[in-house]
Chain A
Amino acid sequence: MNALQWLSRRSTPIILAAVLAVLVYFLWWLNDSYLEDVATNGCITLVMVMGFQLFMGNSGILNWSYVGYVGIGAFASAICSIEPDSKRLQMPVMYEALIGIHMPYWAALLVGAAVAALAAAIIGFPLARLSDMAGAIAQFALLVVFYTLLAQWQQVTNGPRTFTLGGTRSTTIWVALVVGVISIFVAYWFKESALGLRLRASREDRYAAASSGINVVATRYYGYIISAAVGGLAGGLFSHYILSITAKSFYLAELFLVLSMVIIGGSMSVTGAFAGCILITIARQGLRQGEANLTNSGFDVSGMTEIVLAVLMILFLMLRPNGIAAGWEVRWRLPGRRAARSDSKQRS
């Protein structure tokens, strides 16, 4: 296999990363703090979306508890990176062992991802056997448990009060971009890995997958853990950008946003989830702007953004349930050569 073929086969994440880099660089270049904020937030959301797609897209199972793992990563990494003195001052009830922890930002991000993955490994084990309705209800109940824990466990999360990180934003636009690019590669690598193929096979037909030697329960379990790790990473980025977080930041509104991006873009491909994230991020800004303008001119339309996104999601579920991309991946093909793989779209 020559270098061009090698590149062609891996072109999907490279193209998506390039598009992201150009968009972010452009918004930064415009030198407007609002647009820089949109770009940074967009990258953080993208990491969340990639982690969500990683499980939902490949397994076909909606993981309601996902944003709970984002929250775990956010709090865990914040606890790790804040100076002990600052923690003692702000949160006197915090466990002594947690107050003593202190590590650099990048290490705190990794710990956040690791704690989220560990939580998923422990909680997911008994839940992996549940399927369909029972599994969905259990995951939703788990989200409520996460929310309640994050909101009430004073010795860890400062309880219902805001958890303030203080200092300067460690998550800069460039850090968010780099992690965003990494998350694209992780999501694509996972999808194309043997584990990802097994998970996709189980999504398409559980019985045929089992009869092909695939342990469906174990496959889902591993996918769930990796997805939670990416979510935890996104949480760390988020808390070190927003600098003050509460349990509410990781609940239904956040889940709804990620879900609408993945459903509208198309959960079955990394390209779809990426496109959904970018398009909804842009659409949200426009809607917010319109909402503010209308409200200022006398018509109170607060909540319009959420309603429009919800209606859009419903329309997609009805008319194009596989989203914009419907499983398609952007790919650079070698000119004049019929690719042996995945050219389904070109032919049909």
Chain B
Amino acid sequence: MADLNEVPVPGPSAQVPPPPDQPGAVLTVQDLFKDFAGLRAVDNVSLQLRTGEILGLIGPNGSGKTTFINLITGLLPKSGGFVVIDQVDTTHFPAAKVARAGLARTFQTIRLFKELTCLENVEAGAVGMGVPRRQAEARAIGLLEEIGLADQAGKRAKSLTFAGQRRLEIARALAAHPKFLLLDEPAAGLNEEETAALLAFLKPLPAAKGIGILIVDHDMHLIMNLCDRIHVLNYGKTIAEGTPAEVRANPEVVGAYLGSAAR
């Protein structure tokens, strides 16, 4: 079985870095650009995310993090560069096809299907990938149990607490059985206790589900304790990438973003 996977894939694979030693998939972003009427919001950013790891994406407000996420998920057209998800070139895919290629996401401003029940919200995450309704329901019930919302299954999503809505959005993304999960400020608006619960929930996910997580957040405690590696943007440019310890010790990062708060 393993040999079959070694067949070379045509297309942009020439530029794609060699497959990883360990089994799993890679999300590659190469030389990504985005111009908004003269403003270069994302400037030549490259990064790699493997299944099984958590990569943090940080930077000051307006540094291009959310634009970056909207670019690789296909919600915004790119000005240059390319994105490859598990050897599929998704650079010019619309959002729905990017999702089907294995990239699920949550939103900074929660975007739930408010009038649908919690169960239907999670089901829609699976049904959107082409899973039949019966199977999607079984999957959704399991996920609601995992995130502790099983008793709210029949409630409409809009009736959940803020923290509950954040969790439900993650469950909906996981229902797609993605290879990669993008979390856009999942801790925004959560209190300390809720953020701690989020950290405890996310930490074992990559190993348990075999996914890679890209997380954007301003909560440095969460980022530093959760991430294997951290990628730092400033004015749309990469200014550093490394382990939490390396990033925290980087004077440029401290100057641009962390200040003394991270210590």
Binding site for B on A (CB under 8 A): 192-194, 197-198, 200-201, 204-205, 207-216, 268, 327, 339-344, 347-348
Interface residue total, chain B, C-beta cutoff 8 A: 40
In the bound complex, CA of A327 to CA of B94 (Å): 31
For residue A205, which residue of chain B has the nearest CB? B111
**Residues in B whose Cβ lies below 8 Å from that of A210:** 74-75, 94-96, 99
Decide if B117 touches A344 in the complex (CB within 8 Å).
yes
Residues facing A in B232-248 (CB within 8 A) are: none
Given contacts A212-B124, A213-B176, 18 further A-B contacts (CB under 8 A): A197-B116, A197-B123, A197-B127, A200-B116, A204-B114, A207-B95, A210-B94, A210-B96, A210-B99, A212-B96, A212-B173, A213-B96, A327-B156, A342-B117, A343-B154, A344-B155, A348-B155, A348-B159
Q: Chain A's nearest CB lies how many Å from the CB of B180?
A: 13
3 shortest interchain CB distances as A-B pairs: A213-B128, A204-B113, A212-B128
In the bound complex, CA of A211 to CA of B111 (Å): 10
Q: Does B142 contact A (CB under 8 A)?
A: no
Binding site for A on B (CB under 8 A): 73-75, 94-96, 98-100, 104-105, 107, 111-117, 119-120, 123-125, 127-130, 132-133, 136, 141, 153-156, 159, 172-173, 176
B100 partner, pick from A201, A213, A339, A343, beta carbons under 8 A? A213
18 contacts between A and B (CB under 8 A): A198-B128, A201-B127, A201-B128, A204-B113, A208-B107, A208-B112, A208-B113, A209-B113, A212-B104, A212-B128, A213-B130, A214-B96, A214-B127, A214-B128, A340-B119, A341-B154, A344-B156, A344-B159
Decide if A342 touches B154 in the complex (CB within 8 Å).
yes
Report the number of A-B residue pairs with Cβ-Cβ less than 8 Å: 109
Q: Chain B's nearest CB lies how many Å from the CB of A209?
A: 7
B124 partner, pick from A192, A209, A215, A347, beta carbons under 8 A? A209
Decide if B153 touches A212 in the complex (CB within 8 Å).
no
Q: Assuming A193-B133, A211-B104, is B154 touching A339 (CB within 8 A)?
A: yes
B112 partner, pick from A197, A204, A339, A341, beta carbons under 8 A? A204
Decide if B96 touches A208 in the complex (CB within 8 Å).
no
**Residues in B whose Cβ lies below 8 Å from that of A192:** 133
In the bound complex, CA of A193 to CA of B124 (Å): 11
Most buried by A among B115, B125, B156: B115
Decide if B133 touches A201 in the complex (CB within 8 Å).
no
Decide if A197 touches B120 in the complex (CB within 8 Å).
yes
In the bound complex, CA of A209 to CA of B125 (Å): 8
For residue A268, which residue of chain B has the nearest CB? B115
Decide if B75 touches A211 in the complex (CB within 8 Å).
yes
For residue A326, which residue of chain B has the nearest CB? B115
Decide if B124 touches A214 in the complex (CB within 8 Å).
yes
